[in-house]
């Protein structure tokens, strides 16, 4: 990350922050994960890239969901989904829709959950999104 900052590559620094956040998440270091993804979001906002902002919001939303902070997760994921709409991404919106569906299901709103899951399925089929390990950040 420091290397990217030294050479004046903020997009590279953004990617490094995301990658480091994911590595920390895999190790179960949630506070550090949160901090790195929030820093990535702040950097994405300064870059003005809707795609990078959406990807950062998506990761923070899914992190909030994993901590059972459903209101925050839903807000972040919806903002992410709104931004993804203008950039032609596939996997990121798919993951946002699936997680929003899971939130609705946990809240007992089966019809809303069903609509989100179907929208996700339609997006993945119509745009060719895969179901691999890529979470939409590298689109």
Q: Give the number of other Cβ atoms within 10 Å of residue 50's Cβ.
A: 16
The domain spans of the chain are: 2-127
SS3 of the chain: the string is CHHHHHCCCHHHHHHHHHHHHHHHHHCCCHHHHHHHHHHHHHHHHHHCCHHHHHHHHHHHHHHHHHCCCHHHHHHHHHHHHHHHCCCCCCHHHHHHHHHHHHHHHHCCCHHHHHHHHHHHHHHHHHHCCCCCCCCCCCC
pLDDT at 2: 65
- pLDDT tens for 29-71 read 888 899 999 999 999 999 999 999 999 999 999 999 999 999 9
- pLDDT tens for 84-133 read 887 777 788 999 999 999 999 999 999 999 999 999 886 654 444 443 33
Q: What is the largest CA-CA distance in the chain?
A: 50
* pLDDT greater at residue 134 or residue 69: 69
Mean pLDDT of 71-85: 95
Q: Which residues contact 15 (CB under 8 A, 6 or more apart)?
A: 4, 137
Confidence of residue 4 (pLDDT cuts 50, 70, 90): low
Report how far residue 38's alpha carbon sits from residue 57's, in angstroms, rounded to the nearest whole number: 9
Topology of the domain comprising 2-127: 1.25.40
């Amino acid at each position: 990350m420091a290397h990217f900052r030294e050479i004046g590559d903020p997009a590279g620094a953004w990617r490094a922050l995301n990658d480091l956040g994911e590595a920390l998440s895999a190790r179960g270091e949630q506070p550090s994960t949160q901090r790195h993804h929030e820093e990535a979001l702040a950097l994405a906002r300064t870059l003005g890239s809707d795609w990078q902002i959406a990807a950062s919001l998506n990761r923070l939303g899914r992190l909030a969901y994993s901590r059972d902070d459903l209101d925050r997760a839903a807000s972040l994921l919806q903002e992410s989904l709104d931004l993804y709409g203008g950039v032609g991404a596939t996997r990121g919106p798919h993951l946002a829709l699936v997680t929003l569906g899971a939130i609705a299901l946990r809240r007992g709103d089966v019809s809303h959950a069903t609509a989100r899951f179907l929208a996700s399925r339609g997006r993945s089929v119509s745009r060719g999104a895969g179901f691999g390990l890529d979470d939409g950040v590298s689109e």
